[in-house]
Chains A and B, each alone.
Chain A
């Protein structure tokens, strides 16, 4: 069937399908409020930028990734200034318990197929926890699979000292399934506990990288040698965390790896070096997702 015929026939599509492409006005108004709030935050953080940089050593995190004139290297997209009223869990508090979630591995393809939704999110306020889950509000910023509202709850599975709790402002690429957690609507959890999640980092030239912190998904994909992977992920640039000397292939890779190692040393006491960290250009990941569709 050619495109012209499809355009002609689409004029008679069911009303339900047409209605699905219309955003309710309330949702549009909410979206505009978010946009206005984001613009206001940008202005505030912009004014505070100089102070935030100076205070970084003191633990204040600056939203420097939004600026083109960054002083150096790579910046984590999670390096956001935390608003005073942001609610966060204590970073040193971990909750224990065994987890069957770790009893199997996931390749990229398996995680993508098992996930109800795959998306980039920005982590918001911490909202609660139980013995196996720490929960956060999150704003969906990009959807690769599934159908999600603008605002969701992300239930982070915790097991022993893994993983590091999310922080307000973290940008993450998550493979999500609907959560078993009670009491929330639009609640989702990461496939395979913390296996199917990637942090997003931005270089100051604007390029974005997805980082498989635990490395388990990348490793499983390598080992399974599943069709199309990893050979089409041509921009695999780091596979040697935590030793920057093991950075391979590019100078960018080495610089990013150093940033990673420094960042992890400060923020992730749970990592003990037994994990490998894999970094991919976001475009390569997106091309992989397109193949999975």
Chain B
């Protein structure tokens, strides 16, 4: 069953859609949430939350890529869960770094949101021009929160080469954004 058929089940309010989505994208999404939360049970809860959110938002939404749609919902749920879990620790000064900014500003001011929209568009533009294998490494690292070692293992590359790709992509992205007037 392809994405369009599964989305069709969502649109018809057929609960089989949830099973199909779980079977197709559950492992991917739970793994990503686990990368963020470090707890498989919490990660599964996040994916359940994402499925519930998808159930409520399709329709009116009709995602072309259901996997990406669910992955984004799961990521948001996991980041929210991380923020809640670490709210108490903020006061104590214990703050894991990677998610600090991702979790700190859930609703930016309108001007800031506009700026961020342009910034995201520019980043997507930059990535579009990259070879696929580099884009995949970038997305695995920054969207899926995978470690360099795990990326290397999954892509059958050496960790050194993955690190080198990430370093060069970051440098290239910074230059690209500065040339387009973004202040970093």
Contacts and interface: CB of A to CB of B under 8 A. Distances in A.
Contacts of B139: 10, 13, 17-18, 20-21
Interface of A: 1-22, 25, 119, 140-147, 286-287, 289-291, 293
B71 interface: yes
Given A22-B25, A143-B156, 6 more contacts: A6-B170, A9-B119, A11-B75, A12-B116, A17-B136, A19-B65
A8 B124 CA distance: 14
A22 B170 CA distance: 22
Given A1-B177, A7-B142, A11-B102, A142 B157 contact: yes
Contacts of A289: 158, 160-161
A19 B68 contact: yes
A290 B158 contact: yes
Contacts of B145: 7
A9 B160 CA distance: 25
Contacts of A15: 63-65, 68-69, 72
B25 to A, nearest CB: 7
A13 B123 contact: yes
B136 A286 contact: no
Q: Place the interface of chain B in its size category.
A: 35 or more
Contact of A3 (B23, B69, B98, B157): B98
Contact of B97 (A4, A10, A293): A4
17 contacts: A3-B97, A9-B119, A13-B124, A13-B142, A14-B124, A15-B72, A17-B136, A17-B138, A19-B67, A20-B139, A21-B139, A22-B28, A140-B156, A142-B157, A142-B158, A145-B133, A286-B158
A143 B143 contact: no
Given A18-B72, A18-B139, A147-B133, A7 B102 contact: yes
B79 A293 contact: no
Given A8-B102, A11-B76, A286-B161, A17 B65 contact: no
A146 to B, nearest CB: 6
Given A14-B127, A140-B156, A22 B67 contact: yes
B65 A293 contact: no
